[in-house]
């Protein structure tokens, strides 16, 4: 199995069904295992202003591919579906017991499955008591409809508080974290402006936490920064990354990629998956070429010297 999750965020909206099916088939045939989506994907692409299109497409794909469900691990999310069109991010479903119950039932129906391998809390809901959220997830884990619980875009102190509450209640706690991460690093204190989620970035503290809590699997979204590593004029590096460290890191990436006969994007994925702790990148491949890049990068082994060459650049 490859250490990669296929992001299906825009499958069924921007990416049409035929293309989506072809990419999903190729991913599984290549040994891909994780497929990542959310109940709110992709509300911003659909005229209704609500999500669910990605889950529905995956449900049709499963229905037309008997046996494929047993070959993959399925992850979806709850918490960010807009309450009404245009209400995101201020007004979303949240993580109350009632919201989780309803969202999980809907996701299972759309996907045509009886369980979710990894169910993500899409972002923290500070308006709901944490005990209520933990108990709700625990109830569904005990019922077998959730295999694992993950937290996305959470502050670490909230992660630990949830783990403590889960232990007190005797229910399943979180065993995965999903945040944004890549080889380039933004300037400090600009993440709120560069990203949608205040705590949505893997920091040194998160890396240290995962390294000393190996039961916590790290997933990284937007690892290739929407094509910014490939010098695409339509996909520039965000201004939050405009600092001397970015210039130096891009140069090292270019030099090493040239030496290895690979691309900068493939090199970034190799750096992510082969480090300590190892990180599972979530790549939203929209074309066969991008999927090939993702698969090739995650199977590229870097020597300790090559990794040091990348790591020593600040």
Helical ranges in the chain per DSSP H = 17-29, 53-64, 97-111, 130-143, 156-169, 191-194, 204-212, 244-260, 264-273, 288-298, 304-311
> How far is residue 62's CA from residue 6's CA, in Å, rounded to a whole number?
15
For 225, which DSSP code? Answer: G
Query: At 41, is the secondary structure helix, strand, or coil?
Result: coil
Shortest CA distance to 69 belongs to which of 59, 77, 78? 59
Residue 74 near residue 35, CB atoms below 8 Å: yes
Cα torsion 251, 180, 240, 238: sign: positive
Catalytic, out of 11, 27, 41, 229: 41
> How far is residue 290's CA from residue 293's CA, in Å, rounded to a whole number?
5
Helical ranges in 75-152 per DSSP H = 97-111, 130-143
Cα–chain center distance at 71: 19
DSSP β-bridge partners for residue 76: 119
Q: Is 41 a catalytic residue?
A: yes
Q: Give the per-residue SS3 of 265-311.
A: HHHHHHHHHCCCCCEEEEECCCCHHHHHHHHHHHCCCCCHHHHHHHH
How is residue 28 written in tokens?
């599984």
Catalytic residues: 41
């Amino acid at each position: 199995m490859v250490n990669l999750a296929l992001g299906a965020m825009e499958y069924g909206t921007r990416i049409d069904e035929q293309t989506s099916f072809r990419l999903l088939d190729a991913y599984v045939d290549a040994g891909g295992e994780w497929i990542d989506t959310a109940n709110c994907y992709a509300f911003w692409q659909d005229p209704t202003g609500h999500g669910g299109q990605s889950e529905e497409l995956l449900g049709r794909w499963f229905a037309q591919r008997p046996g494929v469900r047993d070959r993959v691990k399925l992850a979806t999310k709850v918490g960010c579906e807009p309450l009404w069109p245009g209400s995101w991010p201020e007004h979303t479903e949240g993580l109350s017991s009632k919201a989780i119950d309803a969202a999980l039932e809907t996701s299972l129906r759309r996907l045509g499955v009886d369980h979710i391998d990894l169910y993500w809390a899409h972002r923290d809901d500070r308006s709901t008591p944490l005990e209520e959220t933990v108990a709700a997830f625990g109830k569904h884990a005990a019922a077998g409809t959730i295999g694992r619980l993950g937290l996305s875009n959470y502050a670490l102190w909230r992660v630990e508080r949830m783990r403590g509450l889960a232990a007190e209640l005797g229910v399943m706690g979180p065993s995965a974290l999903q945040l944004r991460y890549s080889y380039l690093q933004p300037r400090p204190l600009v993440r709120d402006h560069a990203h949608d989620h205040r705590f949505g970035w893997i920091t040194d503290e998160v890396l240290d936490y995962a390294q000393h809590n190996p039961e916590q699997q790290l997933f990284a979204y937007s690892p290739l920064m929407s094509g910014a590593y490939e010098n695409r004029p339509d996909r520039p590096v965000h201004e939050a990354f405009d600092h001397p460290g970015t210039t130096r890191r891009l140069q090292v990436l270019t030099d090493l990629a040239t030496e290895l006969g690979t691309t900068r994007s493939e090199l970034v994925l190799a750096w992510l998956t082969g480090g300590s702790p190892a990180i599972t990148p979530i790549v939203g491949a929209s074309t066969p070429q991008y999927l090939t890049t993702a698969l090739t990068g995650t199977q590229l082994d870097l020597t300790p010297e090559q990794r040091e060459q990348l790591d020593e650049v600040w």
